Amino acid sequence: MTRKYRFLFVAYRWGEDLTGGAEIHHRRLVQDLLELGHDVEVWTTTGRGIEPVAHWAVQWHEGYEPGLCEENGIRVRRFPLKRLPRQILALGSKALQRRTEKRIQADTGLQSILEQTKQGLNPGVYLFDGWHHPETTNESVQRWSMQHARILVAGVSGDGVLCIRGSVPHETFMTVGKEKFHLSGDFEISTHVSGNSNIVEVPVFVRTPFRPARDHRTLGILADRILWRTADNVEFECDLWRDHRALGRLAGREWCRYLLDSMDSIENRWSILFDFLRGPRSSTLRKALAKLPEDFDYVIAANLPWSIIPMVAKHCPLPMLAMPLWHIEDDYYYWKDYVDALRRAKLVMANTPYAAEQFYTPMGVHARFVGPGVLPPGGEVSNARNEEREIWKDSLGITEDEAVVLCVCRKSPEKRYDLIVDAIGELRKKGKHVRMVLIGPDGDRRPLPDHVIYPGRVNDEELEAAYRNCDVFVLMSETESFGMVLAEAWMRGKPVIANRACGPAASLIHEGEDGLLASDSEELARLIADLTDNPGRAHTMGKAGREKALREYTQRAATERLLAAIDELPAAR
């Protein structure tokens, strides 16, 4: 019998109106601990809204009253935020951005990783380093360069023509290969470059570096189209949404090892600055943690990349259980301050066995697989009745004979929903009757072809209907801490397909038994066709997935894994 514990749960924000995956995970865990008879109190901030100031920095806005109250049967104590001036956040972000740019451009390890990655890339031209994050204008995307940027040519031998179209705010000189260009205003250049060089240098010399009001960056050119044309006039368009980070993630574990190694070369002050810029800042919460009475056995500190886990590690005298929702393929999390905090934890709750064994343990972190919990649907799960299915399809404009491939994710580049779009497009060209339904908020505003149904955000009832009526569920995201939607699809008895390069999500699948793995749109198209053409196999996989999800991925299973791990720890006092 597990003993009863007293937990203090510390989160960056809390509330029923907050719907992020991490926040839902937090609430489910706390509620389940209370149902099992443990004592839990939540300490959080008065913050509700988060406003980005720059790439690195966010400004928090208060939305709750400070003090102790009871919310849905849970004791919640809120501490006021300390609002930092936007100017300080912007200046700090600019300093961090410049330091990061210099480190990346001087990093030979990055080039080595990409040399491995490009072997598996489709022929074409790709952004390398030296490019700021993408910006959208209506339905197009634009990308600012730094004053030194590079482009990767992969899988194309022989000379070719590199074409760049964009604009410059000031009189600008740019060198590509051996040619120099004098630019002013809108421009379009074409230059012959050897395809054997692989990486094309694009130095940009700006007489007066451009810096818009309230913008932390020093900018070069604003590119809206980059393509490579071979000697045979075959053109490869560059996807401006993707850069060296997206390419690196394709290397899987090697990319994670590279990020950990490169993290060691970053001075600790930059890690502390990043933590400072992300927040939330609450001096009263920090002081309360430092003076915490011995009324609790453990402090559960939740989430990264926010300041809560490092703050608890540095200032709280009680043993810490860390709950980091770390996307291990995302370079946004690789800071010494975070890793040091995790190493101080009594226990780190990993979201997957893969993360616990292949990621945290080699870092010297004491981790156990706990995972988030998924709520099973009520009652017995079976495929939707024909009448219900016809009504649902008709409401979305899907014909009766079309198979449905569902994806639930934020519509943004790192989720790689574009691979599913391309796979469905190829199948339809071959005469396959299949449609894609994509559910989730619009993060990139990219237009979608007619074979994709995109309702955006939906309510719980509409999401349940989509899960019940789909034929196959696909998540091709490159970076996940777990991939809760896979377990949600399994709960409904659906076969799933995930991205082979995403370690945490791929590790959940027993390939061929309860799901499949794909590396690109071509392989994905074959797998989708196999499952939609063989409903018996799809049903068997979905049934196996449901049995596993009910056994391993419910909230109660996650909570019991946590309590079992705590029972094995040395006494808290």
Is the pLDDT reported for residue 268 higher than 70? yes
DSSP 465: H
Interstrand relation of 148-154 and 39-45 (parallel, antiparallel or unpaired): unpaired
pLDDT at site 213:
67
Helix (H) or strand (E) holding 518: strand 515-518
Beta strands in 231-346 (DSSP E): 235-237, 298-302, 320-323
As a whole number of angstroms, the distance between CA 422 and CA 156 comes to 22
Q: Matching CATH topology for 6-82+266-369 and 386-552?
A: yes
Is the pLDDT reported for residue 195 higher than 70? no
Class in CATH terms, 6-82+266-369: alpha beta
pLDDT at site 99:
85
Burial 99-129 (b: 16+ CB within 10 A, else e): ebbeebbebeebeebbeebbeebeebbbbbb
Q: Which of 132, 164, 323, 335 is nearest to 245 (CA)?
A: 132
Q: Are 214 and 89 in contact (CB under 8 A)?
A: no
Average pLDDT value for the chain: 89
* pLDDT tens string 479-494: 898 989 999 999 999 9
Question: Which CATH number applies to 122-249: 2.40.30, 2.30.30, 3.30.420, 2.60.120?
Answer: 2.60.120
Q: Give the number of C-alpha atoms closer than 13 A to the C-alpha of residue 500, restricted to the C-beta side.
A: 12
pLDDT band for 148, please (50, 70, 90 cuts). Answer: confident
pLDDT at site 132:
86
Q: Rounded to a whole number, what is the largest CA-CA distance in the chain?
A: 76
Angle between helices 417-429 and 521-533 (to 10 degrees): 60
pLDDT at site 446:
86
Q: Which of 339, 363, 345, 342 is nearest to 268 (CA)?
A: 339
* pLDDT tens string 9-19: 999 999 888 77
Q: Are 44 and 79 in contact (CB under 8 A)?
A: yes
233/321: higher pLDDT: 321
* pLDDT tens string 43-91: 999 999 888 887 789 999 999 999 999 988 999 999 999 988 988 998 8
Beta strands in 240-384 (DSSP E): 298-302, 320-323, 347-350, 367-369
Domain range list for the chain: 6-82+266-369, 122-249, 386-552
pLDDT band for 216, please (50, 70, 90 cuts). Answer: low
pLDDT at site 179:
85
As a whole number of angstroms, the distance between CA 341 and CA 189 comes to 49
pLDDT band for 202, please (50, 70, 90 cuts). Answer: confident
491: Cβ–Cβ under 8 A, 6 or more apart, which residues? Answer: 374, 376, 377, 381, 467, 546, 549, 550
As a whole number of angstroms, the distance between CA 179 and CA 382 comes to 64
Q: Are 508 and 332 in contact (CB under 8 A)?
A: no
Give φ, ψ of 226 to 5 degrees. -135, 130
CATH architecture of 386-552: 3-Layer(aba) Sandwich (3.40)
pLDDT at site 133:
83
Q: Six-digit token pair at 440?
A: 């989730």
Helix (H) or strand (E) holding 153: strand 148-154
pLDDT band for 378, please (50, 70, 90 cuts). Answer: low
Q: Are 273 and 336 in contact (CB under 8 A)?
A: no
pLDDT at site 211:
74
* pLDDT tens string 531-565: 999 999 999 999 999 999 999 999 999 999 999 99
